[in-house]
Amino acid sequence: MPADAALAPVPLARALREATAQAHAAVEALPHMHALAHGALPCDQYVRVLQQHLALVEPWERTHAAWLQTLAAQGWHYRARGPALRADLATLGVTAPAAAPLTEAEPAAAAWGQLYVIEGSLLGGRLIARAFRAAQPALSAALAYFDLGSEAPGAWRQFQACLEAALPSVAQRQAAIGGAQSMFARFHQQLAAGVAA
């Protein structure tokens, strides 16, 4: 192997995956996640999961809206989750609360790390949507959010390429790792509240 190849940094997506492995596992280990993944979560608890995702994702989207709009020039088109979550809740007869106030946006590199977590969740979301259609067909009309990952199966690979190109420096990569870790912590805190096993 050439010396320069041996010294080359690992792909950023791999570095993020390795740095957040424990945090990701902690989210997956939450009591209700097994039932969610298998489409077995009762409707009232499914509503609660949607509410929790809305409470986490929509404020982040609103806070980072200006930055998210710039990503198209870098090859990535972000699909907003808030409208899909609100549509699912409305389908289930639940009125979503008003949008949360804006907070301070993260620097771009950290925001990329947070976006890595949000985009990565679509991979699992696609499986969740499939499981609910099989196990609880009555909820099929309320899967717009989890179905977002089914719209572009090759999007994850494209996102990883954009991520790599956007953050070439060591400092940027470290900031992205910190952003991803903080987002997993937010997911864990939010999803751990109020959903029974």
Nearest by Cα to 92 from 41, 27, 149? 41
Residue at 11 is within a domain: no
Q: Which range of residues forms the domain containing residue 66?
A: 42-191
Residue at 30 is within a domain: no
Q: How many domains does the chain have?
A: 1
Residue at 65 is within a domain: yes
Nearest by Cα to 82 from 104, 105, 53? 53
* pTM for this model (two decimals): 0.92
Taking residue 68's Cβ as centre, other Cβ atoms within 10 Å add up to: 20
Residue at 9 is within a domain: no
Residue at 132 is within a domain: yes
Residue at 176 is within a domain: yes
- Long-range contacts at 16-24 (CB < 8 A, ≥ 24 apart): 16/113, 16/116, 16/176, 16/177, 16/180, 19/177, 19/180, 19/181, 20/117, 20/177, 20/180, 20/181, 20/184, 23/181, 23/184, 23/185, 23/188, 24/184
Rg (CA), the chain: 17
Beta carbons within 8 Å of 124's beta carbon, 6+ residues apart: 37, 149
The CATH number assigned to the domain holding 59 equals 1.20.910.10
Residue at 172 is within a domain: yes
- How confident is the prediction along the chain (197 residues), in pLDDT tens digits per residue? 454 545 567 999 999 999 999 999 999 999 999 999 999 999 999 999 999 999 999 999 999 999 999 999 999 999 999 999 999 999 999 999 888 888 899 999 999 999 999 999 999 999 999 999 999 999 999 999 999 988 777 899 999 999 999 999 999 999 999 999 999 999 999 999 866 54
Residue at 17 is within a domain: no
